[in-house]
Amino acid sequence: MRKSFSALMGVCVFVLAASAVLAVAAEQPVAPQKDPERVLARVQGQEIKEKDVDQIIQTAGPQGAMYDSEQGRKAILDELVAARLFALAGVKQGVDKSPAVLDAIAVFSSQAVARATIDGLMRDIAASEEEAKKFYDENPEQFTSPEEIHVRHILVSDDVTSADTIKGVQAELSRGTSFDVVAMERSICPSAPQGGDLGFFGRGQMVPEFEEAAFALQNPGDVSQPIQTSFGWHIIRLEEKKASSKVVYDEMKPQIIQYLTNEKRVRKYQEELEVLKKEYTVEIVPTAAASDATASPDQK
């Protein structure tokens, strides 16, 4: 069975991010920028360019937008200058030849090459409008808003006085007292200060007895008979109904295209990964704890 559209969107985005697929982010619209090759500073002859600052902002994710201002970009430039200065000092001291730095360089180099390779693999993979429309037509349930109702209610505790309390509530309502006023005065629900207003909800969100009585009301202003649930006795008034409706294709098209594109990219990534696992040797070395757990009693 196909998972829901919204759930799969989340899964696909997660897999792509975890795989360091940068193609999606690279295709997002960005504000016009200054010349990326413009030199902003030189440190011992090494140039720091506009694109270096841009890269820091882009890789910072949502937080990067906070620095995309004159003051923020100046702060990033200052940090890049400081980093270059400390790097020069480290080279002079021979820190760049230390095992820790060499290991870090090797890891960074491997990750950078992997990212660039995946980026190239995904660059030309995109869903078409025809595929998006086909998906929309074949999965109507994914784009349909369910029926919803808006109600108020008066909740009365289920005790020896409940019958008298319910009669009193019904008498006030029959005299023309506003439902929300009676709810504020009589209801024991936390919604009482709002006149018993529960807002809009769909099926499956309330206890069955309450839901059945609420959805049975036909017209705004209709009031139910007292309904008993595990919370007590309810008198429900219908405020408004929203019929089930389908979101039009044009509104959903960009999201569907992105979703199908993500699906294709995840599939391509997984297929290519299986090919690489066959081409190159991969050995997963068990940890000591895992080895101890799987050893037979006479081996321990």
**How is the chain split into domains, by residue range?**
9-122, 150-243
Tokens for 209? 């007895």
Q: What is the pLDDT of residue 28?
A: 42
Amino acid at the residue 205:
Q
Please report which confidence band the pLDDT of residue 64 belongs to, taking 50, 70 and 90 as the band edges.
confident
Name the CATH architecture for the domain at 150-243.
Answer: Roll (3.10)
pTM, rounded to two decimals: 0.55
**Residue 292: predicted pLDDT:** 62
Query: Based on C-alpha coordinates, what's the Rg of the chain?
Result: 31
What is the pLDDT at residue 98?
A: 95
The whole-number pLDDT of residue 297 equals 54
| Helices 249-279, 5-18: crossing angle, 10 deg rounding | 40
Nearest residue to 186 via CA among 153, 160, 138: 153
pLDDT of 19 over the 90 cut:
no
Least confident of 11-15, 48-52, 211-215, 290-294: 11-15
Tell me which DSSP letter residue 223 carries.
B
Tell me how long the chain is: 300
